[in-house]
Amino acid sequence: MNLPTFAVSLSTSILSLALLGAGCGDDDVATTSATEGEATTGTTGETDGTGEATTETTGDSATESDGTTGGGQSWPSPDDAPSYDGDAYVGMQIYDVGADAWLDELALMEGLDPARLVFVGEQHETAPIHELQRWVLEGLLARHGDVTLAMEHFQADEQDVIDAYLAGDIDSATFESMADPWSGYASYWKPLVETMKSAERPVIGLNVPSEALDGIYASFPTAPLEVFNGWGQDNPYDAFLPPRPLAPWDALYQTYFEGSYDYDSHGKDWGLSYQEALDYFTALALIRDDTMGYHLALRLEASEDRIVVVGGDWHVQTGIATPDSVTKFTGDGDARLITTATPAIFESVKAVSEGDRPVADYILVYDPI
């Protein structure tokens, strides 16, 4: 196999690997496309940012959930807890993993208050999840205002283009042609960006420049970290990469990664042993996580903002991937983790854990429309 063909094959494999893990892995568990409109918080009425979603309560509320500061409430049973409807989901309920309780919207927002980082995982291109991401984003914008949106879906070297669009210096078509967003941007992630544009708040791109990854692919079979850590300040993408050398992964990280790893599709046909292939792809995942964590750390240290981070569930769940990477670069990395599930997979998602790490702090449980 000649090098150019192999590099393309490897790049395609990395992309498909990023889509592993439906429900419990890298990029999965559904929510939906965002809607327009404002909303109120309470036991009845509209929910933040998702049109005319209503909240219904039955029975008596229990005590406040752990971490709330005032009016939020929790219930031991979902039968008594409020539910929220949107354009792409119905009956969404909020599960507090640590408290084993069901919350109202206010209790969720109060639970998020102490942390400057809120990660909201996703199954990519799942409309109900993206609407729920916006629901969380708009709730925090209404509550705090000083919110930045950070996205896996833009490369860090596209920040100038992102900033130009938010400032009104270029139009939407120019932005989308220049910023190199992920395929499906207009359908799934654009409403998040437009929410921030309307609020006049920042959006930051987190991901590794694709040209830098191309350099790693082209150097196969040299180990990714050997290539990455060998780049000096003269590398054209140095400004968009974390400081080198990156430390190798630990056993917990690789064990977590291995749960979503498919050897048959990623490395077996390249003549690599299972362990060689697992090490290769673990390194690529680590480079992505540490790059995203580095840019989040920079934002935390450069501003007083709260940051809502949207990205694949594998990067979010348990906190072992991107959230832990943030703490490598700053001491100010306290985070809350949100993931999603449909009722059919709620129990399996809730059971996801690694070591003593639960799947998330909160699970938004919804039925897609």
Least confident of 29-33, 64-68, 287-291: 29-33
Q: Which residue has the tokens 């929220």?
A: 84
Q: What is the tens place of the pLDDT at every residue in 221-254?
A: 999 999 999 999 999 999 999 999 999 999 999 9
Q: Which two tokens stand for residue 360?
A: 């998330």
The pLDDT > 90 percentage for the chain reads 80
Query: Amino acid identity, residue 352?
Result: V
pLDDT band at 332 (very low <50, low <70, confident <90, very high): confident
* 141, two tokens: 């914008």
User: How many Cα atoms occupy the beta-carbon half-sphere of 16 within 13 Å?
Assistant: 13
- Residue 340's H or E segment, with its range, is strand 335-341
- Rounded to the nearest 10 degrees, how much is the dihedral formed by the CA atoms of 332, 136, 259, 249? -20
The residue-averaged pLDDT of 318-338 equals: 96
Domains and CATH numbers, the chain: 3-206+294-368 (3.40.50.11550)
Q: Which residue has the tokens 């050398």?
A: 245
Q: What would the pLDDT profile of 276-295 be if each residue is shown by its tens digit?
A: 999 999 999 999 999 999 99
Q: Are strands 335-341 and 203-207 parallel, antiparallel or unpaired?
A: unpaired
By CB neighbour count within 10 A (0-12 exposed, 13-18 middle, 19+ buried), where does 192 fall?
buried
Tally the residues of the chain.
369
pLDDT tens readout for residues 51-61: 333 333 333 33
Indicate if the pLDDT at residue 25 is higher than 80. no
- Hey, how many other C-beta atoms are within 10 angstroms of the C-beta on 274? 12
- In the prediction, which pLDDT does 333 show? 85
